Amino acid sequence: MPLNRLGNILVIDDDPDVLLAARLFLKQHAGEVSVEKNPAAIPELMKNGKYDIILLDMNFTRDTGSGQEGFYWLDRILEHDPLVVVVLITAYGDVDMAVRAIKAGASDFVLKPWQNEKLLATLSAAMSLRRSRAEIEQLRSRGRQLGEDLDHRFGGLIAGSAAMREVLGTIEKVAGTDANILILGENGTGKELVARELHRRSNRAQEPFISVDLGAVPAGLFESELFGHVRGAFTDARGDRAGRFETASGGTLFLDEIANLPPELQVKLLAVLQNRVVTRIGSNAVTPIDIRLISATNRPLAELTEGKHFRPDLLYRINTVEIHLPPLRERREDIALLIEHFVSHYGGKYQKTGMRIPPSTMARLERYDWPGNVRELEHAVERALILSDEDVLRPEDFFLAAPGKPADRSAQPGAKLAEVERAAIQKALAKHGGNITQTARELGLTRTALYRRIQKYDL
């Protein structure tokens, strides 16, 4: 048996013989054993020490039989450290008291005089519970940190234009409600950013924000991804798995590109939103869910409902409030603000602080239509910072389609091989909003090889 299997233990009992017996036995199995006769010392002990398990007497000299003192100090202990595991001890075998103790937050209940082996088994189970609580808290802490990092990464909504100030006004009005929100806008306009901002300002901000890109989920996995499955439900279901609805319960579920949802799943989604329960694939058991739904699409849902590709009743359900995000070409006042933000962000990331953008560069960037919207602008700034050898970003550092020239010149008669390659790269970059990784993947190139060609063709 490992020496420190039980971690650090505090024993509180007004009987010196009990304390001596506990210390002599438990020091063989614990990292540290502390004992205390007076429960009033508990706050100071917990302030100065870290305990994994606390063995707490139910009855002290003031109250020898009711256990009320034990319940009082149990509450104080858990207020100070909700993760600590408390095992209550008493000389009175009262089942009702045991049930009350468990409901009040104790992990177990033992009678004295105890049998050493039974006490050891109880404390071993308590230590396992302590480790589980610590792991869960660590995961929650990581989740909170990831959420904060993502929010910081998005940098908040940058809104200098009248159109974006209107969007911010709508967010301010609806964020504190549980109304279902539908965000409409072209690719790259920042729909997920708006969804995160709605969550951040909501009453659910401390709960999960779960995002699902329905455009990236294979058709055969839609139902499993959203609703979960049980072991054996299908060939690859080797274990139970919660769906995104269950995972997001208590928080916000963001369904991006909801227009990609197949008709048969639209029916199930409507039922889930109406009944607030989900049923995993392969199970008949229903699980209650409590989510705030935010959806988004770059397609005109009203037209889809007319073509019977999207259920009108589902559309009514998901868009209690609609938020329209304007394309960047309709909010040119924000371009300079966005560029300054991205230069600052990526300048810090790539240790290129102090990068400047002269008026000639800014003027050209503000004239450009940015078909990939904010996403294209962000990648263009990142790429320019990476490739620039100076502390000034010039117009030629940015990939921009030349005014008045077609983006695809590969079909022109007599095009040379280099022109074909240049046009192919330019077209792929435009398609992916300047995203180097996705463009390289489509062209079958490494990122390094793509960067060389971008420099070669001055893209």
Mean pLDDT (whole number) for 413-435: 71
Per domain, the residue ranges of the chain are: 8-135, 155-326, 343-456
More confident residue, 404 or 220: 220
pLDDT at residue 414 tops 50: no
Same CATH topology for 8-135 and 155-326? yes
Specify the 3-state DSSP secondary structure of 232. Answer: coil
pLDDT at residue 242 tops 50: yes
Confidence of residue 27 (pLDDT cuts 50, 70, 90): confident
User: Could you report the per-residue pLDDT of 127-137, keeping only the tens digit for each?
Assistant: 888 888 877 77
Q: The whole model's pTM is what?
A: 0.60
Q: Can you state the angle between helices 436-443 and 417-431, rounded to 10 degrees?
A: 130
Specify the 3-state DSSP secondary structure of 151. Answer: helix
pLDDT at residue 406 tops 60: no
pLDDT at residue number 396: 85
pLDDT at residue number 234: 83
CA dihedral in degrees (213, 217, 223, 224; nearest 10)? -100
Specify the fold of 155-326: Rossmann fold (3.40.50)
- For 8-135, CATH gives 3.40.50.2300
Percent of the chain with pLDDT over 70: 88
pLDDT at residue number 233: 82
Residue 227 has a CB neighbour count (10 Å cut-off) of: 24
pLDDT at residue 418 tops 80: no
pLDDT at residue 395 tops 90: no
User: Could you report the per-residue pLDDT of 135-193, keeping only the tens digit for each?
Assistant: 777 666 666 555 555 544 444 678 889 999 999 999 999 999 999 999 999 999 999 99
Task: Judge residue 357's burial from the number of C-beta atoms within 10 Å of its C-beta, 0-12 exposed, 13-18 middle, 19 or more buried.
Answer: buried
